[in-house]
Structure 1
Amino acid sequence: MPLPAWNDPELKAGTMVRGALWLVQVIGEGNTFNKEQIREAFPGISQADRRIRGLREYGWVLLTNTEDARLTSEDQRFERAGVPVWNPAARRAASPQKTVSNKEKQAILARDHYMCTICGISGGESYHDDSNQTAVLSVTQRKTVLLDGSEETLLATECKRCRSGSGGSTARADEAMAEIRSLDPGDRRRLIRWMERGRRGTTPLERAWNTYRRLPADARDELRSALQD
C-alpha cells in the first residue's frame, strides 16, 4: 500500500505522523535536517520539533550532535525509520508504556494541588453525595489528543471513583478548544479567569443551589413549599 503524502490536506493525522512521513518522503534515511526546515514544513505548529523527536519512542533513530559530534547543535540526522506510525494498528501495538517513579508521582500530585483533576475533590475528603466514602488519589496515565491531533500519554491526578468511571477514555484537547470557542465572549473571559486561578468560580445562583442540595429531603420539600406560597 502506498504511503500517504505527508502534506496531504485530507490526511487526518497529527504532527508526529506527518513528521514521520516528511522524514521518509523529503529528507530520506542517512540525511540531515534542521529546525528551520521543520518550521518551514510545519508552519504555525507549536513544538513541531518535539513531536518529531517523539518518534524515538517508536524505534526511529534521529541523531543529534550529542550522538554524532560532526553535527551542529541545529542539525539532526535521520538515521533509520522505525515503527510505521502512520499505520494506527502498528502505532498502538508499539505504544510505549511509561514507568512513573515515586518522585515523579509526588511532583504530579503537588502540581495538581493534591486534588482530582476531574471532580476537584482533595485526598481524604468525603464525597458530598456519600459521606461514608473518602477520596483516594493516584497518578494515572491518560491518553490525550493534543490540539494538533497527535496523541500522547500524559500524567494526571485522579480519585479512585473518577478513574473507574472514565473507563480509560481518551482526553481530547481539540474537543475542549472547540467547546471553548463556542462560548460567548463573556463566558469565555470567565473561563479564562478560572484557568488562571486554577479553580472554578461560582455564581450566587450556583451557591444557592448547592446550599439547597445539601439539605435533607424533608427540609428541601419545606423550602420549596415556602417559596411557592
Structure 2
Amino acid sequence: MIKTALWLVSEIGEGNIFTKEQHRDAFPGISQADRRMRDLRDFGWVIHTNTDDITLRSEEQRFVTAGLPVWEPGVRRRATSSSISAKQRKAIFAADDYQCVVCGIAGGEVYLDAANDTAVLAVTRRSVRLPGGAVQEKLVTECKRCRAGNGTDEPVDVARLLSDIRNLDETERARLMRWMERGRRGASPIDRAWTRYRRLPADSRDAVFKQLRG
C-alpha cells in the first residue's frame, strides 16, 4: 500500500488518469495490488473509478487527491484508531434508512438524470454546531454524488437551521414537516418534468422548448 501511494504521488500525480494494467505493471508479482490501492481510501486518499466518474472507462481510474502520508511512521496507526468501523457503518446506514441524507436516493437506486448511474452510499463525517455553540462530529450517509459535491468544512449550524425554518410561511413549513415525517423530500411534478426534460438530447430539448413557447 505504501509503494502504491508513493507511485501515485511520484508517477501519476493528482488529477491524472491511469489504468489498472499500469498499476499492476509497476508492481509485478505483487498479489492483490488492486486491493492495496483500495485500502488507501481508509486514509483519505480519493481515487475514482467509473462508478464515481462516468467519464472514465472501466479499466481507468483517476487519482483525485492524496490523503494521509501513509509512509510516515505512526500515521496509519493513528488514522486506524479514528476510522469508521464496519459496525458503525451498518448502524449509520440503518439510522438513515439506507438513503443519502442530502438528496434522499437509496443505495442501488438509479439517478433520475442518468439511467446508467446508480447510487453508491458511504458514511461520511459531518460537523454540527449545536444551539449552545459546541461543535460535534457526526456520522451521516451520503451518496457518491453528494459526497463529491460537499466541498465545505463549515459546520451545520442547528440554531440557524431552526431560525430559517421558523421564518418560512405556514404552507412551506407544513410541506417541510411532511418531508421530515417521510424521511425524504420526494419529487414534485415540476421536479419530475424538469428531470425528464434534462435527460433529452439537445435537439429534442430545443424542440420541446419551441413547441411550448409557440
Q: TM-score, normalised by structure 1?
A: 0.51
Q: Counterparts of 1:193-204 in structure 2 under 5 Å?
A: 193-204=178-189
Q: Against the structure 1 CA distance between its residues 152 and 180, is the aligned structure 2 distance closer, same or farther, given a 3 Å change threshold?
A: same
The answer on 1:116 being equivalent to 2:100 is: yes
Which residue in the other structure is 2:91 paired with?
A: 107
Tell me the distance in 2 between the aligned counterparts of 1:144 and 1:180.
Answer: 17
Q: Following TM superposition, by how much is the alpha carbon of 1:116 offset from its aligned partner in structure 2, in angstroms? A: 1.4
Aligned-pair identity in percent equals 50
Which residue in the other structure is 1:153 paired with?
A: 137
Cα RMSD after superposing both structures: 2.3
Q: Following TM superposition, by how much is the alpha carbon of 1:130 offset from its aligned partner in structure 2, in angstroms? A: 4.6
Q: Which structure 2 segments of 5+ residues have no match?
A: 1-80
CA contact 1:142–1:156 (8 Å) conserved in 2? yes
Q: Following TM superposition, by how much is the alpha carbon of 1:176 offset from its aligned partner in structure 2, in angstroms? A: 1.8
Q: Following TM superposition, by how much is the alpha carbon of 1:212 offset from its aligned partner in structure 2, in angstroms? A: 2.3
The aligned length equals 133
Which residue in the other structure is 1:221 paired with?
A: 206
Tell me the distance in 2 between the aligned counterparts of 1:140 and 1:201.
Answer: 23
Which residue in the other structure is 1:210 paired with?
A: 195
Q: Against the structure 1 CA distance between its residues 141 and 196, is the aligned structure 2 distance closer, same or farther, given a 3 Å change threshold?
A: same
Q: Following TM superposition, by how much is the alpha carbon of 1:214 offset from its aligned partner in structure 2, in angstroms? A: 2.6
2:147 to 163, 166, 185: 163
Q: Against the structure 1 CA distance between its residues 154 and 98, is the aligned structure 2 distance closer, same or farther, given a 3 Å change threshold?
A: farther
CA contact 1:142–1:168 (8 Å) conserved in 2? no
Q: Which structure 1 segments of 5+ residues have no match?
A: 1-96
CA contact 1:139–1:156 (8 Å) conserved in 2? yes
Q: Following TM superposition, by how much is the alpha carbon of 1:168 offset from its aligned partner in structure 2, in angstroms? A: 5.0
Which residue in the other structure is 1:180 paired with?
A: 165
Which residue in the other structure is 1:66 paired with?
A: none
The answer on 1:142 being equivalent to 2:126 is: yes
